Chain A
Amino acid sequence: MKLTKALLSATALCAAATTAHAVDLEVTHWWTSGGEAAAVTQFAKAFNEKTEHNWVDGAIAGGGSTARPIMVSRILGGDPMGATQFNHGRQAQELVEAGLMLDLTDVAEAEGWKDVVHPSSLLDACTLDGRIYCAPVNIHSWQWLWLSNSAFADIGVDVPANWDEYVAAMPALDAAGIVPLAMGGQAWQSSGAFGVLAIAIAGQDAWKAVNIAKDADVAGGEAYAKVFDAAAAAREYSKKTNVQDWNQATAMVIEGKAGGQIMGDWAQGEFAVAEKVAGTDYTCLPGLGVNAVIDTAGDAFYFPKQDDPEVEAAQKELAALMLSKEVQVEFNLRKGSLPVRGDVDLAAANDCMKKGLAILESGNIMPSGDMALSPDTSGQIEDLMTEFWSSDMSAADAQAEYAGIIADAD
C-alpha cells in the first residue's frame, strides 16, 4: 500500500514537472552595437539560468527603423515571436488595440510594478484601458551632449560646461581639423538632436506645447525660431562628419576626431566598451548643460499573444524577470541607461549615470517624443530634419514646414 502511494505521488511529481516544459522563447530586438549587445546578454543569461526556458536571440541589425517593420509584419502575419522590443509609447499602440499583445496585468500586480516603477509615466505608456501590455526595462534620455576631453585639450580650451561655450569653441576645433559636432547621417539622429536643442533652447513649456498639445503657433513662433537658428549654425560645423551610424559618430568623439555629439545616453555604452572614463576621457552634459532635464523614453518588451499556455507562462516569467532588481542593475549598467525601478542600488554607476539618476530623483523629467508623437508624425519630422541638416535649407523655411507638420499631427 505504502509503495503504491509512493509510486503514485512520484508519478504525480513527474507529471507536474513535465507540464512546465522548457520553452524556447524567441526575443527580437535591435540591440547590436557593442554596449547594447553586452547588455542584452544579461537578460539572456538571467533567463537561461533562473528559469528552465531558453532565450533564443533574434537580434535584427540596422536599428529600430529597420527592425520594427520586420517585427510588426511578423506579428501581423501570424508568426509572432516570444517577446519583442519596442520603444514604449505609440509604436505598438495599434497592435495592442487589435488584441495582438499579451495582457501582463496579473504579472504587474504580482510583482508590484505600480509601486516600484519610477517614474510612473513609464507604466502609463504601457497601459491601455487600465490593462498593462508591456514591461519597461530601462529609461533612456536623449538630452545629452558628449564631449571629447582630448579634442579640447588639443586646441587648448577648457572642456565647455554648456552649449554656448561649446558653440564658441567650434571655430577653433574646426581650424584644428577636428569635426566640431559629429552628426551621423541617419534621419533619426538629426531629428533627435533637434529635439534636444529645442528643449535646451526653447525650454520645456514650448516643447510641450508643440509636441503634446500640437500647437502649430508655438512651432512657428519666436522661441522655436531660435532653435532653428541654433541648428542652422551647428550644422555648418557638422558637415564633415561623413558617417552614417550613430556609434560611428560616437567613435569619432571617443577617438578625439570630433569635439562632441548630441546623442542619447545609450552612447555611454560605447564609451564603456572603449574603456573610457567619464570626467577624464569624456564629459557629459545633460540638457546640453543649459536646462538639466531628461526625457523618459526607453525600451519596453511586448509579448505577442500565442495560443500555447506554456509559452504564455514562459513569457510572463520573462516579463517578471526583466524587472527584477538584480537583472535591472546588471542590464542598465552595461546599457548606460537608468533602471526603471526607483529602489535599486546603482553604486557601480559612473559619473554620467549618477547625473542622470540625480535628475530623475529631482523629478525634472518629461515625456519622450516617441510617447507624444505617432510614428507617422515622427517620420515626417525626420524627413524634414535630415533634409535640413544635410542641405542649405534656410532656418525660416524649415520652421514653416515644421509648423505645418505639427498642425497636421494626430
Chain B
Amino acid sequence: MAVTDHGVDHARREYAKPPIKIFKNLSSKIAAIPMILTATVIFIGCSGWTIVHSFTNSKLLPKLDFVGFDQYERLWSSRRWLISVENLFIYGLCSLVFTLVIGFLLAALLDRKIRFENTFRTIFLYPFALSFVVTGLVWQWILNPEFGVQSIVRGLGWESFTFDPLYNSDIVIYGILIAGLWQGTGLIMCIMLAGLRGIDEDIWKATKVDGIGTVKTYLVVIIPMMKPVFVTALVLIASGIVKVYDLVVAQTSGGPGISSEVPAKYVYDTLFGRQNLGQGFAASTMMLVMVVIILIPYVYLQFGGKKDQ
C-alpha cells in the first residue's frame, strides 16, 4: 500500500512529463510482487477455493460434486459445533475484557514509578515466552485435582475444598481461560505500558494543576489518548481468540466429553481425522464469516472516517 501511494505522490509532483505510471518506482514494485502474489493467490485464492469446496461432498480428496448447503445444515445441527461456537464466544468475551482490564491495570500500577519495576515487568511478561502447548500442560497439572491446587488446599486442612475446572463440563472453558489469561496478559501489559510512557509529562502536570484525581485522569484523559494502543491490543487479542486451538488440545483435548471443544479443533478434526473435507471447509468458512463480521465494523471505524476529512 505504502509503495503505491508513494508512487502516486511522485507522479503528481512531476506533472510536466507525461509519466508511464507502471514503470515508476519499478524496483519497489518488483520487490512487492511476492507479497502481492502471496496475498492474491494464497489468501484470496485459497479462501475462495475453500469456500467453493464447502458446497461439495468432498471426503478425503477434494471433488467438485456440489450438494448445496447440506454441509452447513449438518454443521449447524451438530451439537459439537454449537458447543464449540458457544465456547469460543465465552472465551472470546472474557478473554477480551479481562486481558484489557488486567493488562491496563498492571501497566498503570507499574507506571506509578514503583521500585523493581524491571523485575515485575519481566515476571509479568515471562509467561508469554512459553508456547500455548507448554502453558496448557502446566495448567493442566496445576488444575489437576489429584496433585494440583485442590490437593494442596486440602492438604492444608480444608477437606471439602473442590476446584477441578478441567474435570467439570460446566466450567471447563474457564479453566482454559485462566491459562490463556496467564499467558497473554503480560504482552498486553507491555504494550499498554509503552502507551502510558508515550503520554507527555505535561499532561499529568496540567491535570494536577486542574485538581483532577489520578483515577479520573486515567479514565477521562489518558485512556482516550491511548486509542491507537488499545486498537493494537484489540487486534492482538482478537486474533489470539479466533485461533485458540493448541491450548485446548494441550489442556483437555476437548474434554470432558465435548464440553471444551472450539471451532478450530472441529475444523482440524473433520478435515484430517474424519476425512471429511466438505464438512471441515464449511466449518472453516463459518470461522471466516465470524472474523469478517467482527472486522467490518472495525475497518469501517478505523478507515471509513478518513475519507470524509
Contacts and interface: CB of A to CB of B under 8 A. Distances in A.
Interface of A: 65, 68-69, 72-73, 76, 91, 94-95, 98, 185-187, 242, 244, 374-376, 378-380, 383, 386-391, 401, 408
B65 to A, nearest CB: 13
Contacts of B276: 375-376, 379
Contacts, number: 73
B275 A375 contact: yes
A76 B60 CA distance: 10
Given A72-B275, A379-B274, A94 B60 contact: yes
B279 interface: yes
A16 B192 CA distance: 73
B31 to A, nearest CB: 30
13 contacts: A68-B272, A69-B271, A72-B60, A72-B275, A185-B255, A185-B256, A244-B253, A374-B59, A379-B276, A383-B80, A386-B255, A386-B257, A390-B255
A76 B59 CA distance: 13
A94 B57 CA distance: 13
Interface in B140-155: 145-146
Contacts of A72: 60, 272, 275
Contacts of B167: 242
Contact of B257 (A73, A244, A376, A390): A390
Contact of A376 (B80, B169, B254, B275): B275
A65 B272 CA distance: 9
Contact of B270 (A242, A379, A391): A379
A71 B293 CA distance: 36
B34 interface: no
A69 B273 contact: yes
Contacts of B272: 68-69, 72-73
Given A69-B273, A72-B275, A387-B79, A376 B256 contact: no
A61 to B, nearest CB: 14
B269 interface: yes
Given A98-B61, A376-B59, A390-B169, A383 B258 contact: yes
A48 B61 CA distance: 35
A383 B258 CA distance: 7
B56 interface: no
- Among A73, A383, A386, find the residue whose CB has the most chain B CB atoms closer than 10 A: A383
**10 closest pairs, A vs B, by CB?**
A69-B272, A390-B257, A94-B60, A379-B274, A387-B257, A390-B256, A376-B276, A376-B274, A375-B275, A387-B258
Interface string B55-81: 000011100000000000010001110
Contacts of A380: 78
A94 B59 contact: yes
B259 interface: yes
A389 B169 CA distance: 12
A98 to B, nearest CB: 6
Interface in B247-280: 253-259, 268-276, 279
Given A94-B61, A185-B256, A376-B279, 11 more contacts: A69-B272, A69-B273, A73-B272, A91-B275, A244-B255, A375-B274, A379-B270, A379-B276, A388-B257, A390-B169, A391-B259
B279 to A, nearest CB: 7
A212 to B, nearest CB: 19
B273 A379 contact: yes
Contact of B273 (A65, A387, A388, A408): A65
B151 to A, nearest CB: 12
A310 to B, nearest CB: 28
Contacts of A386: 255, 257-258
A95 B275 CA distance: 11
Contacts of A401: 79
Contacts of B61: 76, 94, 98
A104 to B, nearest CB: 21
Nearest to B169: A391
A391 B257 contact: yes
A242 B273 CA distance: 24
Contacts of B255: 185, 244, 386, 390
Contacts of B258: 383, 386-387
A186 B253 CA distance: 8
Nearest to A69: B272
B253 A68 contact: no
Nearest to A93: B60
Nearest to B170: A391
B275 A94 contact: yes
A316 to B, nearest CB: 25
Interface in B144-179: 145-146, 167, 169
